[in-house]
Amino acid sequence: MTSTTAPAVDLTEVDLTDPSWFRDGPPHELFARMRAETPIRWNETEHFGGFWSLTRAAEIAAVSRDTATFSSHAEGVFVQRDQVAPLDLVRAVLLYKDPPEHTKYRKILQSAFVPATVAKMEDDIRAVVTRVLDDVIEQGACDWTQDVAVRVPLLVLAELMGIPEDDVPRLYEWTEQIEAAQRAIEPAQAVETFMAMAMYLHEQVERQAAEGNSDSLVMRLRAAEVDGETLADPEIMTFFALLVFAGNDTTRNTTSGGLLALLEHPEQLEKLRADPAVIPQAVEEILRWTSVVNYFVRTATTDTELAGQPIAAGEKVMLWYASGSRDEAKYADPQTFDVTRSEHDHMAFGGGGRHFCLGAGLARLELRIIFEETTRRLHEIEQAGEVQRLQSSWANGLTSLPIRFRAGARVG
Ligand code: HEM
């Protein structure tokens, strides 16, 4: 992945909320300089006030683990209070909760994501990936992002939620609308989207209850009980919205960025082909390398300090996971893409605290199957056109990756 950094840039002038820094992907040279020179740096912005920019893994992990001092609930997880939707609305979402509320809800919700439940999805996910590849394989060319990376997580989520496949285009539209709202300077764009999702989910609950479908995530969550607590329908709705937001374009962007990294390092792609047993390890390196959620934000609840830097109550800290995943203190040669790397302590799924990605097991499974089936069935893959990128400082994603290939072994 390339970087947009001129080595001589004056760091005091840099505003990392300006998407032009991310035009060619995250500015990794700039992050490296910040880690070395000003790892806790005040960043004034044009539109949203200022925040402390944290670029080293150590501080990102420390903040992630200290939810009492660094809140997700007080001011949300973006720089701007009402980013995506009004804070008072989205505060009900798990990602925005602090303990003890967060602990209670996470306990109920994670019952649906325990490893045994996720492992049971392997056959269904392989069937989805097989079908998506079947649709492109005879053409010998496709847009990897639009034809494969977009479709797989949407179809998996529909399967998980017991949603009819005909409704997948609606899930896609909602994902795009929430993502666009995240990038908008004018906040609170996604309220209508959330309302539409609430109405849709209500219909789904009624339909699935009438059909006696007890196996879908929606119905399992309705039945789930922890310490005598159950989830009300509006809580299931907010969780559904979070899954659409958190589970879709993250997996898509990792799938897109992962193949691009492999095409840019053909000797690494060859290692996956030569020995598919390497793929789980390669998935970890792809997660580290792409680290597609560039950041989340926390707000200090009290005057505190980080590595000697005073942080005042009410000030925001931005956790640059994209930088933490390439911290020299954690990784030998972090700017090298190496699918056989043994250190896997990356920050693609967050800084390791209570909000650590709930869908990490599912995402890893989807990515493993995508790269297993792709390396088995698509041979001599080449980039066949220019890569298009999302213009965002928060999401590291591609909107187009044209490829061509030779069809290899068939399924079965
Ligand atoms: C490669 C794909 C994915 C990436 C890179 C990713 C990344 C992240 C990150 C960075 C966080 C915040 C962690 C923190 O604040 O410490 C998060 C939270 C979350 N993710 Fe993922 N995610 C992915 C896939 C998924 C999937 C497939 C699902 C579910 C279908 C999912 C569900 C969630 C949920 C529910 C949370 C909130 C957890 C909480 O607040 O306790 N994610 N994810």
Strands (E) located in 32-77: 40-44, 50-54, 70-71
Instruction: Measure 349 CA to ligand 1 centroid, in angstroms.
Output: 6
Tell which residue, 159, 160, 153, has the closest CA to residue 113: 160
Q: Is pLDDT above 70 for 158?
A: yes
Confidence of residue 411 (pLDDT cuts 50, 70, 90): very low
Task: Name the range with the highest mean pLDDT among 41-45, 264-268, 404-408.
Answer: 264-268
Average pLDDT in the 195-209 region?
A: 85
Give me the sign of the Cα torsion angle 368, 370, 376, 381.
Answer: negative
Given this model, what pLDDT does residue 5 score? 46
- The reply to whether ligand 1 has any atom less than 6 angstroms from the CB of 246 is yes
| Residues 6 or more apart in contact with residue 212 via CB below 8 angstroms | none
Question: How far is residue 81 CA from its own chain's centroid?
Answer: 20
Q: Is pLDDT above 80 for 84?
A: no
The C-alpha atoms of residue 190 and residue 175 are separated, in whole angstroms, by 10
Question: Counting Cβ atoms within 10 Å, is residue 120 exposed (0-12), middle (13-18) or buried (19+)?
Answer: exposed
Given this model, what pLDDT does residue 412 score? 46
- The reply to whether ligand 1 has any atom less than 6 angstroms from the CB of 156 is no
Given this model, what pLDDT does residue 4 score? 43
Residue 1 in any domain: the answer is no
153 CA closest ligand 1 atom index: 27
For the chain, the domain total comes to 1
Confidence of residue 410 (pLDDT cuts 50, 70, 90): low
CATH number (domain holding residue 342):
1.10.630.10
Q: Is pLDDT above 60 for 2?
A: no
Residue 3 in any domain: the answer is no
Tell which residue, 160, 67, 84, has the closest CA to residue 355: 67
Given this model, what pLDDT does residue 91 score? 86
Confidence of residue 187 (pLDDT cuts 50, 70, 90): low
Q: Which residue has a Cα nearest atom 37 of ligand 1?
A: 95
Q: Which residue has a Cα nearest atom 18 of ligand 1?
A: 357
Contact of 320 with 31, CB cutoff 8 Å: yes
Mean pLDDT of the chain: 90
Ligand 1 mutation pick, 220, 221, 250, max ligand atoms within 8 A of CB: 250
Residue 146 in any domain: the answer is yes
Instruction: Measure 165 CA to ligand 1 centroid, in angstroms.
Output: 23
The C-alpha atoms of residue 113 and residue 362 are separated, in whole angstroms, by 8
Contact of 325 with 86, CB cutoff 8 Å: no
Give me the sign of the Cα torsion angle 166, 167, 168, 170.
Answer: positive
List helix spans (H) across 184-309.
191-211, 217-223, 233-247, 249-264, 266-274, 279-290
Ligand 1 mutation pick, 349, 354, 364, max ligand atoms within 8 A of CB: 349
Q: Is pLDDT above 80 for 233?
A: no
- The reply to whether ligand 1 has any atom less than 6 angstroms from the CB of 402 is no
Confidence of residue 185 (pLDDT cuts 50, 70, 90): low
- The reply to whether ligand 1 has any atom less than 6 angstroms from the CB of 218 is no
Q: How far is CA 102 from CA 72, 92, 107, 299, 343, in A?
A: 10, 10, 8, 16, 30
Q: Which residue has a Cα nearest atom 16 of ligand 1?
A: 350
- Specify the 3-state DSSP secondary structure of 357: coil
Q: How far is CA 181 from CA 23, 120, 197, 232, 339, in A?
A: 19, 34, 15, 27, 34
Instruction: Measure 356 CA to ligand 1 centroid, in angstroms.
Output: 7
Residue 320 in any domain: the answer is yes
Residue 4 in any domain: the answer is no
The C-alpha atoms of residue 315 and residue 54 are separated, in whole angstroms, by 13
Question: Counting Cβ atoms within 10 Å, is residue 159 exposed (0-12), middle (13-18) or buried (19+)?
Answer: middle
- Specify the 3-state DSSP secondary structure of 53: strand
Question: How far is residue 265 CA from its own chain's centroid?
Answer: 23
Question: How far is residue 351 CA from its own chain's centroid?
Answer: 13
The C-alpha atoms of residue 250 and residue 272 are separated, in whole angstroms, by 22
Residue 6 in any domain: the answer is no
Q: Is pLDDT above 70 for 313?
A: yes
Residue 2 in any domain: the answer is no
Q: Which residue has a Cα nearest atom 17 of ligand 1?
A: 357
Residue 328 in any domain: the answer is yes
- Domain containing 200: what range? 11-407
